[in-house]
Amino acid sequence: MRTSKMTFALATVSLLVAACGEKEKTYDATGTFEATETTVFAEQSGTLLTFDVNEGDELEAGHEVGLVDTTQIWLKIQQLGATKEVYRSQKPDMERQIAVTRQQLAKAQQEERRYRELVADGAAPAKMHDDAVNQVKVLQSQLEAQISSLATSSQSLDKQVAATDVQVKQLADQLEKCHIFAPTKGTILEKYVERGEFVTVGKPLFKIADTQDMFMRAYVTSGQLEHIKLGQKVKVTTNYGDGARKEYDGTITWISSRSEFTPKTILTDDERADLVYAVKVAVKNDGYIKIGMYGELKL
């Protein structure tokens, strides 16, 4: 009996020691750090004449990093410029081409007035006036037909010039797309091609990520939802292992409106919960946070 009591006492002490040794959990959720990644693709086909990109480079938004050969596009623009000048040279000078008909009409109208006066005075037969009137009508019809024909020809050439201008603008846009720019500030994560390679439209060139403004994707239970809201300030801690940790200020920028099953690699405050909600916490990186690193969230 004494031995049993002693064994029970030792077991009780062991349980108390174990309980005292447990550390209180200092986080409400865990997750991994992510960054907004952008893959840049070739927008024109050709040889990469320049491509100044290396993994790890820090780039500013709009910085030019490469150039696809622009020779053929530039030659097409020159060709269209010459075609445009041909169209312009073919445009008729309407006033000059109808000047003769106008003079003939003016003379015919003068003759018609003269014969009208002679007929009124009885000095000429009426037929002469009728012939003069018909001549005026014929010349008026000829003038109107000339003006219509020349206007149609001029409009057609104007449309051809306008179409050429559109083609030039399209080529200018293609020429601009031969220049490769960083779409956003960030760090080059991956480089897929090298200078001198022939690239086609849609071929990936490099991947860039904004590693300064990062965020942590964590998962919370439905019970924790009532304690969080958009814009809420929280504490985020990075875990480097072996007790090495660093704390950052974070802001909740997104809360999922749809639940999902608990990911196997995620620990929540209630590990028995089957459904969790994803949240994003924006964090300003000081250079120590890396993509994919684990972190802890304290509400």
Instruction: Provide the residue ranges of all domains of the chain, joining segments of one domain with +.
Output: 25-68+190-298, 71-177
pLDDT digits (tens, 9 = 90+) for 228-240: 999 999 999 997 7
pTM (2 decimals)?
A: 0.69
Residue type, 268: T
Q: How far apart are CA 278 and CA 215, in angstroms?
A: 12
SS3 state of residue 171: helix
Query: 57 phi and psi, to 5 degrees?
Result: -65, 140
223 alpha-carbon distance from chain centroid: 40
Q: What integer pLDDT is reported at residue 167 of this predicted model? A: 96
Architecture of the 25-68+190-298 domain: Beta Barrel (2.40)
Letter for the amino acid at 263?
P
Beta bridge partners of residue 248, listed in sequence order:
236
Per-residue pLDDT, averaged over 27-37, amounts to 93
pLDDT in tens, 163-204: 999 999 999 999 999 999 999 999 999 999 999 999 999 999
